[in-house]
Chains A and B, each alone.
Chain A
Amino acid sequence: MILTGAQILWECLVKEGVTTVFGYPGGAILPAYDAMLDYPSIRHVLVRHEQGAAHMADGYARASGRVGVAVATSGPGATNLTTGIATAMLDSIPTVFITGQVSSLLLGSDAFQETDVTGITLPITKHNALVTDVTTLARTLREAFHIARSGRPGPVLVDICKDVQQARTEFEWPAAPPPLNGHEPSPPRAADLTRAAELVAGAKRPLILAGAGVIRSGASDLLREFAEKTDTPVASTLLGLGGFPASHPLALGMMGMHGEAFVNQAIQRADLLLAFGMRFDDRVTGNLKTYAPEAKKVHVEIDPSEIGKNVAVDVQIAADLRAALAGLLPLLSEKRHPDWRREIDAGRAETHARDILHQPDGGRLFAAHVINDLWEATGGGAVVVTDVGQHQMWEAQYYHHEKPRTLITSGGLGTMGFALPAAIGAKMARPEAEVWVIAGDGGFQMTQCELATLQQEKLDIKIAVVNNGFLGMVRQWQEFFYARRYAATPMLSPDFVVLASAYGIPARRVNRRADVVPAVEAARNTPGPALIEFRVEQEDVVYPMVPSGADLHAMIRRPAEAVVEAQEAQA
């Protein structure tokens, strides 16, 4: 069948199972947009800024595990995607980005809206390709989807010259994805599994570090089986939350910079760390020289270049986590660690007592209250999409996720402005899910233009803007490390209630704890989108905090009396 390059693009997307693309048209991608009208099975979501399209594709992929797709034109269209591409790269999200490029005859001439997009995105994609010949287009797209979803997933960008979109050729879709020699994960080696099982058998204080790999490889059930059989507590990275049910007695919650003190202390005390699908990011380890000094380390990770990068390990298993756990489980015998569990639970109780939820609030509204009450009101079952900053850490601490793919957040890149567009993508991937945005006043303003997209697509997404009048996390660092010199962190915001109304979205403002649950209930009972602005305590701090590069056990903790004192000062 003779087709144009533009038609081949959509044929390939349909064959890859794509039903939704997020994009923004422009000159160099016009032939593709024209052809799109003849492919009604594809739902195109017109965004308000290409960064939003990239985050939507990303959120779509995180919520569903399917490849997310975004489309943009050349030049500024493509450069606007880059923040979203880098976000997907750092968190290993399977995404395909299609950009129009100037005609192949004009390449390198600084033609109108020409930029070297494959050059710009080289370090922030898993792979990219410039297509200058229509006969290679189908194969390139087939390869792009395969690369995006295979092994350690990631973003792939295909830059298609305008004349390629217009040129005609025989359309042949390769039935099998092209072989990628050496790029498929190897099965775990029996000797490594045996060695790991021996370490598990000999451990007295074992601990599982569960990362995003648990979710990506669909290994939650096997992780649970492993933990229960060997009585091993499970700490999670930010991106690993949801991979192990938070209500499980063996669940410790988040580790690292803003992990609870007892979790980090357990890591420092452990004699065996089982790192499952995580990469020992600096936000997780703190000072590497003093990290988990007593522990042997088993590292199961699909990307061999992550093993031994930050932390030296005793057993390395470069394989898909699900395959590795399936191989390990039969080698393990039942274990019980009552002393170790008791030690951890003592720390847990002490942390619990310090928790702001259990301190007098003096009638003030703390972000932790908002998130705790939101968690209760939604029965812990919502898909929560966060932005980046203090509210993100409070979400990780106070919204207890039971299932994989229920927390969607930018971990590695820490991209402010992520939440609203990523939530749009997540809702389109899983229309049946209750989707909540939790964003700060700073990050929300970065991509709030996508409120128009939300309304245009008539999506039932609820939005909680946690407004403390500051770029809170930066202010927190200034408070601790820059002598409270608040350079450029106090922030003026619009009236979010009026702003939402301008987009036809019902909204209300909450200042008091007592109004949180009624507002959440009202939003849940509102058909379609709704926004709640929570005016929270302005200079609250995320505790505990391991200062950047400090020892993991050297945490700054919430002073137990602080709240009481503040209350007295007020009175």
Chain B
Amino acid sequence: MKHTLVARVQDQPGVLNRVASLFRRRAFNIESLTVGGSEAPDFSRMTIVVDTARAPAHLVAANLRKLVPVAEVTDVTHLPTVDRDLALIRVRCEPGTRGEIANLVEIFRSRIVDVAPDSVIVEITGDLEKVNGLVELLRPRGILEMVRTGKVAMVRGTAAAPGETG
């Protein structure tokens, strides 16, 4: 099973190395790891998706908490969250088929952010399923290049969850 852990870590050199080293040493399996800024200037935020076939999520979290620069770890797997993955997809596109791709992109509420004579770059943001859905539809047309950020997650406010379509 895959678990999503959110870690608040001190923004200092070597923190990512410490986390990566822990996962390597304990043979924990990382599916994806994103790191970036947070609401506090001195802290970064990591969203880590781990495969817990080998070690249960609570052990992964307990080990993460032992790292001194790690201030807080939350397993958000079973909490209501907003999950997002961002992908840039360069897809083959002859001038005649641009309209079809534009339609797909529209349906997925994504957008074309670059146009070349024989390809376009599509930018999509959404949860993993939505991004995977567009990728599968584009694949037969020829995906020339793709980059994905991996999942970032945030727990929803208690009352919240406005008509979010993902």
Contact surface of A with B, Cβ cutoff 8 Å: 118-119, 122-123, 126-127, 143, 147, 180-183, 303-305, 307-309
> Would you call B78 an interface residue if the criterion is a C-beta within 8 Å of the partner chain's C-beta atoms?
no
Tell me the nearest residue of chain B to A180, going by C-beta. B68
The answer to whether B21 and A183 touch across the interface, beta carbons within 8 angstroms, is: no
Q: Mark B46-76, 1 if CB is under 8 A from A, else 0.
A: 0000000000101100110111101110000
Contact surface of B with A, Cβ cutoff 8 Å: 14, 17-18, 21, 25, 56, 58-59, 62-63, 65-68, 70-72
Residues of A with C-beta under 8 A to B67: 127
With A308-B56, A308-B58, A308-B59: A147-B68 Cβ-Cβ less than 8 Å: yes
The answer to whether B68 and A127 touch across the interface, beta carbons within 8 angstroms, is: yes
Measured in the bound complex, the distance between the Cα atoms of B63 and A305 in whole Å is: 6
Tell me the nearest residue of chain A to B64, going by C-beta. A305
Tell me the nearest residue of chain B to A118, going by C-beta. B14
Q: B62 touches which one: A127, A143, A180, A305 (CB < 8 A)? A: A305
Residue pairs across A and B with Cβ atoms less than 8 A apart, 7 shown, are: A118-B14, A126-B66, A180-B68, A183-B65, A183-B66, A303-B66, A308-B58
Residues of B with C-beta under 8 A to A308: 56, 58-59
Q: What secondary structure prevails in chain B residues at the interface with A? A: helix
- Output the least CB separation between A242 and chain B (Å): 27
Tell me the nearest residue of chain A to B62, going by C-beta. A305
Q: Lowest 4 CB-CB distances: which A-B pairs, in order?
A: A305-B62, A304-B62, A127-B68, A305-B63
Tell me the nearest residue of chain A to B63, going by C-beta. A305
Residues of B with C-beta under 8 A to A123: 21, 25
Residues of A with C-beta under 8 A to B58: 308
The answer to whether B59 and A182 touch across the interface, beta carbons within 8 angstroms, is: no
The answer to whether A182 and B18 touch across the interface, beta carbons within 8 angstroms, is: no
The answer to whether A122 and B18 touch across the interface, beta carbons within 8 angstroms, is: yes
With A183-B68, A308-B56: A122-B63 Cβ-Cβ less than 8 Å: no
- Output the least CB separation between A75 and chain B (Å): 20
Measured in the bound complex, the distance between the Cα atoms of B65 and A119 in whole Å is: 20
Tell me the nearest residue of chain B to A147, going by C-beta. B68
Measured in the bound complex, the distance between the Cα atoms of B25 and A123 in whole Å is: 7
The answer to whether B62 and A122 touch across the interface, beta carbons within 8 angstroms, is: no
Tell me the nearest residue of chain B to A151, going by C-beta. B66
- Output the least CB separation between B113 and chain A (Å): 37
With A123-B25, A305-B59, A308-B58: A182-B65 Cβ-Cβ less than 8 Å: yes
- Output the least CB separation between A519 and chain B (Å): 46
- Output the least CB separation between B43 and chain A (Å): 11
The answer to whether B65 and A122 touch across the interface, beta carbons within 8 angstroms, is: no
A-B contact sample (20 more), CB < 8 A, given A126-B68, A305-B63: A118-B14, A122-B17, A122-B21, A123-B21, A127-B67, A143-B68, A181-B72, A182-B65, A182-B72, A183-B68, A303-B62, A303-B66, A304-B62, A305-B59, A305-B62, A305-B65, A307-B62, A308-B58, A308-B59, A309-B59
Measured in the bound complex, the distance between the Cα atoms of B68 and A183 in whole Å is: 7
Residues of A with C-beta under 8 A to B18: 122
Measured in the bound complex, the distance between the Cα atoms of B66 and A307 in whole Å is: 14
Tell me the nearest residue of chain A to B58, going by C-beta. A308
Measured in the bound complex, the distance between the Cα atoms of B24 and A123 in whole Å is: 10
- Output the least CB separation between B134 and chain A (Å): 39
